[in-house]
Structure 1
Amino acid sequence: MLSWTDALRFAFQPVVNLTTGGVAALEILARPETGDILAEAHRDPEVDGRLAVLAFRAAARTETLLPLHINVFAATLADLGGIGPLPEAVRQAGRMPWEVTLDVVPPYTHVPQRSLLEAVATLRGQGFRICADGVGDGDVPLRLLTDLSPDLLKLDASLLGRPAAVRAMRTLCEELGALLAVEGVETELQYTAALSAGAQLGQGELFAPPARIPVAGVYVPPSSATTVSRPRSGPSVREFVRPAALLPVTASASQVRTLLTGSPDVSGVLLVDQAGAPVRSVHRSHFLLSMSGRYGHALYADRPAFKLGDAPRTVGVDATAWEVLDVVAVGGRDRASDDVAVVDRLGRCVGVVHLADLLRALAESRVEEAAGLNPLTRLPGSDTITVEADRWIADGQVVALSWLDIDHFKLVNDGAGFAAGDELIRAVGRAVQEAVVGHARVGHIGGDDFLVLADETGLAPLEAVLDAPWSAAGRPVTLSLATVVCPPGSVADHRQAAACLAPLKKAAKALPGASWVLGRAGSPGYEIRRGSGSHPAQAGYAVLEP
């Protein structure tokens, strides 16, 4: 009599890095030829646990070096306390537990939460990575989701129609130190939405459908199809993580040579200890050059590869691309092309980054910044500031958005000439930028108008700019400043903040002399900090809007 395993086949679907377009991992999907084994696995934890082990073994037989994703029901983990045979199967295949991510799938209803968390803690202790799957379309409670503290969170593509929810999940991932993926991506529009919302990984028919043999390449829409703004501090290293070629630190040079010659796309091998921490980095060209020299194979083949490696270059998962370049800059030129290992909070390797990927992204960001600079002041335009404001708002930070301009600037141009007017604009721009450096972002939105983005504590330096004795060709000039402070949740984006700022701008312009009006989103009235002939020491007079 045939067993259900005899009619079971598996398919592979790539998990795609949305920034680099590379395949970051493979998810193994059960494809029974008869019966409904998935329904049986849902009812019987023993069947589901066995299915997970069979999925891993099917992937191991493909000899892929990619990290693997294996699905398991939340109820299975809670009932079995883990997946007992899986660690041994991983060891027998010569793979590392941290190369396997367990996608914990719903339903979660009626699953004993304490038992589930204990099982996840056991699996983490064994080195496995944890993914919360089906978020947005499943029933995982938010409190349980945070308690799971997954390494990866997979959102259903249906949430892309609710960008605020996706941004909230991205914020949660940043707090948990997790990556964000979107699954079920079928169109380029969904791809653009996922990338714009901050997702680092994606899956779906758009990239590649599930296949019996792992695909060699995936389709990723051209980069010109999307416009994603990156923080000024530089792109996160998470955006560039590629799978690492790992071998145990005890591996011989012959084992490393076999891996490299069989995988021409692998640029190097990391030798890791039992905990998964990088111990040695073996660069492809340096290693093969040593092995191919006269007597090279005889000298090195049976010796530990450790002796042919260098100390690894590592960065944490929270590093920026600029910080990676700082790491690369240390050391000799002969190691400039080495991959940099990315490690998690426990020091375990989660992948590598290629220098070429970083340089390409940073060059693009610099070109985009340069294109957006105002030619008169060399300050960024409004788009840069508003994108940053949206990021702060999405992250739940207090946002203080200020508008500043020169009073009666047309009279300055008419009376002193446009050259004097241009020089005044440049001087004001320099003064604002120097006053708030390290505390705020300054943008020149055209003419004599400037935007300043800061938290509330970064506003004080603007007082000195207002109180400075400004003039153009000997004519005294004053400045007007309006600020709206937006506490978390008070506005949805920069457009709402700008709408709150508009009446404050009008109120500031109505005051004689140097003026500063400050209001708070969602609160009536405003505060006059400068204006009406008041001395700075008398600032703070509250005025209610009619």
Structure 2
Amino acid sequence: MNAQSEVLVQFQKMIEKELIYSVYQPIVSLQDGHVMGYEALIRGPKDSPFHSPLAMFQFAEQQGELYMLEQLAREKAIQGSILEHPQQLLFINISSQVLYDPGFVPGKTLEILQKYGLRPSNVVFEITERSSIEDFSLAQKILEHYRKQGYRIAIDDAGAGYSSLQAIAELQPDFIKIDRSLIENIHKNKVKEYILETFVTFAQKMNISIIAEGIEHADELIKLTRLGVHYAQGFLLGRPNESPAKVQDSLKILIWQHRKVQGGGMTWSIGDLKTPVKVFDNKVQVSEVAEYFKKKQEDVGVVIVSEEAPVGLMMRDRLFQQLAGQYAFSLFWNRTIDGIMDGSPLIVDEFMSVEQVSQMATSRSINHLYDLVVITSNGKLAGVASIRTILESITNVRMESARVANPLTGLPGNLQINRELNKRMSENKPFHVVYADLDYFKWFNDRFGFQKGDQLIQYTADVMQQAIAVCGTPYDFVGHVGGDDFIVISSTKSPELLCQETIRRFEQGVQMFYEEEEWEYVWDRIGNKVKSEGVTLSLSLVVCSCESPISLEHISQTAALLKKKAKAHQGSIYYFQNIG
């Protein structure tokens, strides 16, 4: 037997004995750092030439066995699925060639899903670029059939070639996966950044979600988060595995901080809008829910739960429409509510931003557009929000942000700073305040011009936010007092490390503003000649233990004394003091 025949025998044995298995790579939300779903990646036996999926699928294609392999791969992906709750998604790869295979029977996948307790709403078919789509009109018909059953569609490898862009235009997928070639070193490449910005803008207009693939470095993650990319996947966030992933807390903080600064610091979380809702167990009878709606005319919907976790939604109008048919009343009245509830409502974590929830809610089908949004806290029901409440809050936030944010940096101004400080003091929990002030900024402005001065102010704002992203917590706050003065309000356990990181980042980049000029002396605000290499950063760290009452005046006075000390010292430095 020659080598080629041996390999074929090995391949046939692998298929017959179902020796392939699935590993799962997490896809993470760049709004809150939680795992949105998993991509199923097929592997062959570890000691065979088919362990690599590329080798396996290439060989199957050459032998005309691609459909058989993909069918088995789909079953293995579903069989080993590690989805942790009904809102997570399972991304299953299918090559465009398989769409046209007469054996690609629409009902087959549904049978497998039902066998393992999943629904079509959990599945995203990811069309890979192993071969480009040849007949778009036929592909559209096939995919539309799947969409009607509840499946979603993703186009893989976008940005890697023209064919994927054509597929996006023709198939209008639910997700676009951006190829690693466009993501790699995006924080250093402005052309890549502009291309991705175009993708994000286009996707927003089309209600399509963007998934960036192949993220390996924190700087790439930061750039993608700040560009408004929806989801991310890559070794940095989690390697393919056979068990559920846990995203590192440090990466969640990174995502939170860079997400929050996009809206100028006025972003609300959906949890701020939650209201109580009537709850029913998923095994109560339809009659009990209907009787409740008859008594409570003002309630538009109820949440269906199983062990405190929401598993469905029953809207009043939909229930009574269901019962209005000729035989529907007798058919459904004594059945359990889980048989007719909406089993895939929009369920979001309380910390997700209102704007993100609004995008998700308004991209639902017209039949579900005005359904309640279910809000959870640590996986348990926290309340609901209506579409009207969500849209009103966005309008109010934008008006408030435009009115009080600093026009240069977009950071919260003094009104919001005072509000945040009062909130922290009322909570009676330890927090830290860092006041930041640029030294010799007036000299810099006079020498290099106000435009460069504005750029240095914006750079300092970025430095403060980046330092918080690395050393802070998801609930930290960065504000712009005015001019060259900034404030950070943080609950980090390492406030000194936060100051050190701020100074390190500032010093690392401030040199680029000097245009290679040289000088020996600068002038301070009152005109004194001072020996200095340029603009430096003075930080005052006020550690508020909250063991005894403190006031805004006390914090302000302490910070002023520390600032005086810092400014008397040459170079960038911080001084700290404990109060309360």
TM-score normalised according to structure 1 size: 0.49
Highest relative contact order (Cα 8 Å, sep 6+), 1 or 2? Answer: 2
Higher share in helix: 2
TM-score normalised according to structure 2 size: 0.46
